[in-house]
């Protein structure tokens, strides 16, 4: 499933910045901690606060994960 991890505002749960985009069948859930390795520096650690699955025409599924930096 196409998956995007978005940095979220802590109070309104609004998407702010795309952190990563990838394809995965893993079942993410609220409270999961994810390490994002990008740019060759230290990994960015985030905690998921919301999982949103979208059903497109033709049965295509996409997923948005809202996360807060830890």
The DSSP line for the chain is -EEEEEEE-TTT--EEEEEEEEE------TT-EEEE--TTSSPEEEEEEEEEEEE-GGG-EEEEEEEEE-
pLDDT at position 38, please? 85
What pTM value is reported for the model?
Answer: 0.90
Percentage of the chain modeled with pLDDT above 90 = 86
- Inform me whether the pLDDT recorded for 10 exceeds 90: no
d(CA 53, CA 65): 9
Average pLDDT over residues 5-20: 93
């Amino acid at each position: 499933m196409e998956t995007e991890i978005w940095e979220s505002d802590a109070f309104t749960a609004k998407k702010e910045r795309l952190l990563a985009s990838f394809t995965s069948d893993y079942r993410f859930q609220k409270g999961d901690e994810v390490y994002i390795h990008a740019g060759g520096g230290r990994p960015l650690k985030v905690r998921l606060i919301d999982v949103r699955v979208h059903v497109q025409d033709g049965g295509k599924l996409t997923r948005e994960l809202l996360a807060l930096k830890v």
